[in-house]
Amino acid sequence: MYGSNGFCDTSMSAATVSTAACTTFRGGQYNQLASKSCGVPAANSYPIDASPYPQCDYITDNFTLSSNLTIGSFPLGIAQADWGEQGYHPQMALGLGSNSTILNVLKTSGQIASRSWSMFWGRTGATANTQLDGSFVFGGYDRAKVSGANYTQRLSSSEPNCGTSMVVTITNIVLNFPNGTDASLFDGIQSSAIAACIVPDYPVLMTMPLDPYFSSFQTLTNASITDRSSGVYFYGMIYNTGPESAP
């Protein structure tokens, strides 16, 4: 997590980033001087993550997950520098890797039955009844959000650049247009399958190679997409939903 010094990169904006803007960009801030429950962690009380996080100062504090569950003296790392990554990981992160402290604590204390977790991104829609909030579940999943047969796959180290080890093969990406027609970004060529890395803390839903996949998306949607977000979904492409971008 980030402290009162958010280490925001002022070069991302022509103007100096204000304290309020930096706090929003980081997803909040932690002020250890204002905390009455901040403490010093025991040696080896937290795992050293293999991901390229910035150097951290470690403390302990009460960690509240819900209105009826608080973990006392939980070890937390305060970033001492910007993570970099071109702003793609600008906010605080909750570690849920293979040696996750939080999953270990919840499992050992009997709060969850397994060291599993699930995330539902949420869904947007034109009307309120077609929209759904996102959700996060420790120790299982929301059965109402899934359908079909369960599929299980082991974590893979086949792609060294995939720090989560959640590697999947994508054989096709299909656009479903409102008029009932479909179009493939792969142009129906199954040999164009690509290996992809699932990174749950990535602030955008998906990234893909420009050529040919994103270029095909622009062609099929009759759009030229150049603007990027500077908000929560940092540097994500902003798709124009006006008449000029209709398929």
Q: How far, in whole angstroms, is CA 112 from its chain's centroid?
A: 22
pLDDT of residue 21: 82
pLDDT, tens digit, for every residue of 132-150?
888 889 999 999 988 899 8
pLDDT of residue 83: 75
Q: Which two tokens stand for residue 168?
A: 């999947």
Q: What percent of the chain has pLDDT over 90?
A: 26
Using alpha carbons, select from 85, 109, 105 the residue that is nearest to residue 94. Answer: 105
Is the pTM above the cut of 0.85? no
pLDDT band at 245 (very low <50, low <70, confident <90, very high): very low
Query: Contact at 8 Å (CB) between 143 and 135?
Result: no
Q: Hey, where are the domains in the chain?
A: 10-108, 116-150
pLDDT, tens digit, for every residue of 60-111?
999 988 788 888 898 899 988 887 766 667 788 888 888 888 898 899 888 9
**pLDDT at residue 168 greater than cutoff 80:** yes
**pLDDT at residue 13 greater than cutoff 60:** no
pLDDT band at 188 (very low <50, low <70, confident <90, very high): low
**pLDDT at residue 247 greater than cutoff 60:** no
**pLDDT at residue 16 greater than cutoff 80:** no
CA distance 101 to 41: 13
pLDDT band at 159 (very low <50, low <70, confident <90, very high): confident
More confident residue, 205 or 162: 162
**pLDDT at residue 198 greater than cutoff 80:** yes
Mean pLDDT of all residues belonging to the chain: 83
CA distance 171 to 168: 10
The whole-number average pLDDT for the span 41-65 is 80
